[in-house]
Amino acid sequence: MSQPTLLLVHGWGLAASVWRPIIQQLGNPPHISLDFGFYGRKTLDIPDDRPLVAVGHSLGFLWLLQHISTAMWGDRVEGLVSINGFARFSKAEDFPHGVDHCLLRGMKNGLQRDPVKVLNDFRELGGGPGGDLIGADAKQRLDTMALAYGLGWLKEWDGRDVLAGWQKPFLALANSDDNIVTPAITTDSFAGLAGGQNSIEWLEGGGHLGLLSRPRVYGDLLQRFYGSFL
């Protein structure tokens, strides 16, 4: 098999730039960084025809589960990585630890009033520093409609059946101090996967946004997984 391309998908409120430190640490392997356009730079094309190792952070992992069984590129995914990810986010009768719909609705309403506050509150809860975390340039390019669509995905999408049927190499990285994707959401999400909770590698420190504050830790773990395909 030829060297697989890394397919990188960021989480809600972030952008493709979150992967730059990881890509540099891995020695700039072939990669495609998708972007949901939360800051006006939407890129969802997957032009490469090589095998893929798909890596999703948070909402990015749920997006992969939503598309991997239907997209033309789905059968080319040879390995799957979740970073602070989940197979479902919102509460349901069979997913009692999920996030209440009213919280997502409140965030969506808040985007119309003060989107910068919504994003800053999210990043602070996720383990980022307090205060204004959105740069001036990013503020000018904020796409509140794209952010609202993302919240809708978090409310509606459920990838548990897809994940339960996954038979190829898999890595799940989760943080025990994640205030957004709680340990209960994490364990419930991966309960149907072969190995269940044993499929999760728990990290301490960094919260939901450890990918931003501790990229070397995640880069080392991803390098070990990706290296098994070379």
Q: pLDDT tens digits for 77-111?
A: 999 999 999 999 999 999 999 999 999 999 999 99
The CA distances from residue 162 to 16, 62, 70, 157, in Å, are: 25, 10, 10, 11
CB neighbours of 41 closer than 8 A, spacing ≥ 6? 15, 16, 35, 141
Evaluate if residue 195 carries a pLDDT over 70.
Answer: no
Q: Is residue 40 in some structural domain?
A: yes
Residue 14 falls inside a structural domain: yes
- 110 is a domain residue: no
Question: What is the extent of the structural domain holding 36?
Answer: 5-94+151-227
Structure tokens at 78: 């040879």
Instruction: Say what the pTM is.
Output: 0.95
As for how many domains the chain has, the answer is 1
Q: What is the pLDDT of residue 199?
A: 75
Q: What are the pLDDT digits (tens) for 102-145? A: 999 999 999 999 999 999 999 999 987 665 656 767 777 899 99
Q: Is residue 197 part of a domain?
A: yes
Which CATH number goes with the domain that contains 167?
A: 3.40.50.1820
Residue 136 domain-assigned? no
SS3 content of the chain, % helix, strand, coil (to 5): 45, 15, 40
Inform me whether the pLDDT recorded for 196 exceeds 60: no
Is residue 104 assigned to a domain? no
DSSP 46-102: ----S-EEEEEETHHHHHHHHHHTTSTTGGGEEEEEEES--SB-B-BTTBTTSBPHH
pLDDT tens column, 50-71: 999 999 999 999 999 999 999 9
Task: Look at residue 141 and tell me if it is in a domain.
Answer: no
Residue 99, domain member (yes or no): no
**What pLDDT, on the 0 to 100 scale, is given for residue 197?**
54
